[in-house]
Chain A
Amino acid sequence: MPAILVTVVLILPLALVWLPGGPPQLATSGQVPRIDWNTLGASLAVAVAAATLAVMLGAALAAVFVLTDFPGRGIWATIALVPFICPPTVWALGQVYCYGGGGLMERWCGGAWRAAWMLSDGGHYTATTLVLAQIHTPLAMLIVARGLGRLHHAGLQSARLFLTPLGMVRWTIGAVRQEAVTAFLLVLALSLGNFAVPHVLQCRLYPIDIYARAANYLDQAGALWIALPLLAVTLFAAAGIAAVERRGRYDSSAPSPPWTPIRLGRKRRAVAALLVLYLALSSLLPLAAMVYECKSPGHFLETVLAAAQETENTLRIALGASLVACLAGVVVGIWVSTRGRLVIDILAIAPLAVPTLVLGLAYLRFYNRSWPIDLSVLGNTSVLVTLALAARGWPFVSRIVATGRRRIAPQWHEAASLGGLRTLGRWRWITGPLIVDHAAAGALVVFILAAGDVEISQMLCAPGSGTLAVRLFTFLHFGPTYVAANLALLQLTIVVAPVLVYFLLANRCLQIV
């Protein structure tokens, strides 16, 4: 019951967002919200391109890590996850320091190569597409890896014996098309709502319009109004995910047939070279450029000390959000997994597709409405931002938990029932222990999202309780470059380090998510 209440509390601001009775607006004449279809079209094009690229790259990486005998797959897979773990603002900033004007590459290679690039990418659309694809490639990799991991159920050994290499590729693509479509739709929805990357790269996409409407035109209601077309597309994508995922479900009751990984043989070096090249260009060089911009360890230490309060706030808020999301997500996930209706599946996954800007605005308007009880006590605490970040994250938890719950063999529940265990007992002895790792993985995803969030945090953080992401956001253009670089590095450290340790110790990322 408490978890159901928490879930209702999380959704309520979003449900009430378009109802009249919000806070007053500083509307001035001629400020009627207008949907800019060109920008919306550009956003769609960028998101589709980013999703396609992410799925292709993610599938290739997943194939290497899951199907082959490539050495050190666990460590490589963990390294490949870094762009997703890293906060989007930080990641985009690293790319700017590396490939942007006056960046590392320009210093090394001169301006000629960049001139050609700039000619073809005046509005920074290609750059934004590439960065969005980089960020979401690990997510696509995890989802496709889930499909590849169960190929042995679909007759992988037989396919390897009887099919040509090309036929094998076709067969594999066909076998994981469900996961590939899911990954595409998920990346599409997340890319469409991403504000941080186009903001850092100065690319005018639709979330920038929504933000400008809310923050600069002083019109939150108008911002929510113009967000509707974007929301419609993202919700459609979420519904697509729910529909696609219903088609084929596998549980862990089926014994896994023995299978041997594909031997790469001489191709191992070529694969290793390609992998190193990809990771170097997409991750290593931008991170090196960021470290270079930090100037010195002294400057970094200075930043750490100056941002001590924000670091504490970030950890506290992110941890709180992940725990609240975990609580709500487990309840919803288990409930969804026991129902078979498409509507429920869609409703459960829909919040995942709501752009963070819309969620932040919803909570802000919810707080500022006139209520019979005084909510101002919440205004000076981190409760609002924690709840909003939990609302952002809980669909991830519920999705992961629902997947885990569906893998539990029904026979175990039947045997437990026959043995006299009631619902609570079965939950305690069977479901609980078997989904605890899934819940932990979900909580970890929420922690990553919450610690790197800038949209919700800068709208809802209580005065004097800002997070590291908000501090970086305020120093992004105003402060000296080294301050922003050091803050980005600090944020990267506190987000990535615990996650990497978890993945390396548990080595579970590919199996769980």
Chain B
Amino acid sequence: MKTGLDCRLGVLALVLISLGILGCRQPTGPEGVVYVAVDRGQSEPILKRFELQTGIRVRPVYDAEAAKTTGLVTRLLAESARPRCDVFWNNEPVQTLLLADRGLLDTYQPSAAADIPPAYRDPASRWTGIATRARVIVYNTKYVSPDEVPRSIFDLTSSKWQGKVAVANPQFGTTRTHIAALFAVLGQQQSQQWLRDLLANRVRIVDGNAMVKNLVARANPETSPIYVGLTDTDDVLSGRADGEPVDMIYPDQDSFGTLVLPGTVCLVRGAPHPKHARRLVEYLVAPEVESQLATGRAGFMPVRADTPAGKAVARLGTPRAMKLTCELLLEQLEPSSRWTREHFHP
């Protein structure tokens, strides 16, 4: 018994010491930390390629559908006194604007972004826009013919689509930004009325945009008759790449246009690895990466006119975009969020 116990205690001590060493080990080579809100399936290969090209180890933190971009923003905010992150690669602009507003972003003008149109660059050089997405109406191609597809977001409130529409929780993510944009473009009264009509039409509220696409793709007349929804282009194009029966239209092309949202890349103020962070920013905003995102399964719309893109990917300007400024969007973000908080209970 003595030998057995001694042996076990010895092994325990050895393992504990080894784990302590393993757990506390610090990476020795050059490295950079990036918080990524772009879907992992798309962003992971891009970051791996950067590692191969530069020898700089990238340590990413990805967001999850449940937390969305705001989860990473929370983390950035919580760490503001001692930043751990070097680069924030966001899939939308509003949270980036909020961070910029709070003074959490550093200024940096990447040389690789010189050919990006000024509308997609921060005048103060705190962020650079790449790889845009649009808010679209997704529909199930098995149950909805192209003629029947709603052409406007206002069609979603008609009795024909009662109980057949899904949207993501408008308190978060790009749906939140979409509502703020509608507040800015249509005015508060008209937007609120549309939201009320949507609720009265028994809209299904789900966790995220990917869930909207999933519900539409798996629509079933008996169990889940959700045939249309509001989501982002990347969700629909990914679904199509997986062979799901979904397609999309850009809504309100005859009136105020579709919301188009660029992804953003920014440098965190007080980044622990500023030199490598700048290299990563240069890499992420380069045309090659944008081309990779545009030709990938998620089909982001490139901000550069000459960047190669997949067949299904629209060019900026082809879908008529809402006319918005960052200031206007930020201004309406809080009033619209407050309203949806009070009226939407998923």
Residues of A that sit less than 8 Å from B by CB: 23-26, 28-31, 101-102, 106, 111-112, 114-115, 118, 199, 202, 204, 211-212, 214-218, 220, 316-317, 319-320, 323-324, 326-327, 364-365, 368, 370, 374-377, 379-383, 386, 428-429, 432-433, 436, 458, 461-466, 471, 473-481, 483
Distance of A471 from chain B, by nearest CB (Å): 8
Other A-B pairs beyond A25-B77, A380-B59, 9, CB < 8 Å = A111-B220, A111-B223, A118-B224, A211-B66, A218-B70, A380-B27, A458-B64, A464-B59, A481-B242
Taking A202-B211, A474-B63, A477-B208 as contacts, is the C-beta distance between A215 and B70 under 8 angstroms? yes
B64 to A474, Cβ gap below 8 A? yes
Tell me if B269 is interfacial: C-beta within 8 Å of chain A: no
Chain B residues whose C-beta falls within 8 Å of the C-beta of A112 in the assembled complex: 222
Taking a contact as CB atoms under 8 Å apart, the answer to whether A477 and B77 are in contact is no
Complex contacts, A464 vs chain B, CB 8 Å = 31, 33, 57-61
Q: Which residues of B contact A433 (CB under 8 A)?
A: 1, 4-5
Contact of A218 among B35, B77, B85, B214 (CB under 8 A): B77
- Contact assessment for A474 and B40 in the assembled complex, using a CB-CB cutoff below 8 Å: yes
CB nearest to A327 among chain B residues: B16
Bound: A131/B210 CA distance, A: 23
- Complex Cα distance A218/B334, Å? 14
Top-5 shortest CB links A-B:
A464-B59, A215-B67, A477-B65, A463-B59, A215-B71
Q: Please measure, in the bound complex, the distance between the C-alpha atom of A320 and the C-alpha atom of B24, giving whole angstroms.
A: 12
A114–B222 touching, CB < 8 Å: yes
- Indicate if the CB atoms of A478 and B210 lie closer than 8 Å: yes
CB pair B23 A476 closer than 8 Å = no
Chain B contacts of A204 at CB under 8 A?
Answer: 346
CB-CB under 8 A for A475 and B26, given A112-B222, A462-B59? no
Q: Specify the main secondary structure of chain A where it touches its partner.
A: helix
Min distance, Cβ B227 to any Cβ of chain A, angstroms? 14
Closest chain B residue to A380 by CB distance? Answer: B26
Number of interface residues of B (CB under 8 A): 69
* Residue contact A30 to B23, C-beta cutoff 8 Å: no
Residue interface mask B82-99, A partner, CB < 8 A = 1: 101100000000000010
Residues A220 and B74 in contact in the complex (CB < 8 Å), given A112-B222, A115-B222, A464-B58: yes
| Residues B15 and A478 in contact, CB atoms below 8 Å apart | no
Q: Give the interface SS of chain B, mostly helix, strand, loop or mixed.
A: mixed
* B80, CB-defined interface residue at 8 Å: yes
Chain B neighbourhood of A478, CB < 8 A:
39-41, 65, 210, 238
Closest to A114 in B: B223
- Given A23-B81, A216-B171, A316-B23, A106 contacting B223 (CB threshold 8 A): yes
Complex partner residue of A28 from B66, B82, B334, CB under 8 angstroms: B334
**Distance A101 CA – B172 CA, assembled complex (angstroms):** 25
What residues of chain A lie closer than 8 Å to B52, measured between beta carbons?
Answer: none
Once the chains bind, are A214 and B74 in contact (CB under 8 Å)?
yes
Contact across chains for A376 and B58 when beta carbons are under 8 A apart: no
A133 to chain B, nearest CB (A): 23
Determine the distance from Cα of A112 to Cα of B207 in the docked complex, in whole angstroms.
26
Contacts of A471 in B (CB 8 A): 40
The reply to whether the CB of B249 lies closer than 8 angstroms to some CB of chain A is no
Partner of B84, one of A29, A319, A379, A436: A379
Q: B124 at the A/B interface (Cβ < 8 Å)?
A: no
Q: A217 vs B77: C-alpha distance in the bound complex, in angstroms?
A: 12
A377 / chain B contacts, CB cutoff of 8 Å = 26
CB<8 Å pairs between A and B, sample of 10: A24-B77, A215-B66, A323-B15, A323-B19, A326-B12, A376-B82, A381-B23, A429-B2, A432-B5, A471-B40
Cβ of B62 within 8 Å of any chain A Cβ, yes or no, is yes
Q: Is B79's beta carbon under 8 Å from chain A?
A: yes
Q: Kindly identify, within residues 204 to 257 of chain B, every residue whose CB is under 8 Å from any CB belonging to chain A.
A: 206-208, 210-211, 214-215, 218, 220, 222-224, 238, 242
Q: B311 at interface (Cβ–Cβ under 8 A)? A: no
Q: Which residue of A lies closest to B39 (CB)?
A: A478
**Chain A residue at minimal CB-CB distance from B4:** A433
Q: Cβ of B22: which chain A residues have Cβ within 8 Å of it?
A: 316, 320
A residues in contact with B334, CB < 8 Å? 28-30
Instruction: Give the residues in chain A near B172, CB-CB below 8 Å.
Output: 212, 216
A102 to B242, CA, bound (A): 15
Contact of B77 among A26, A324, A381, A475 (CB under 8 A): A26
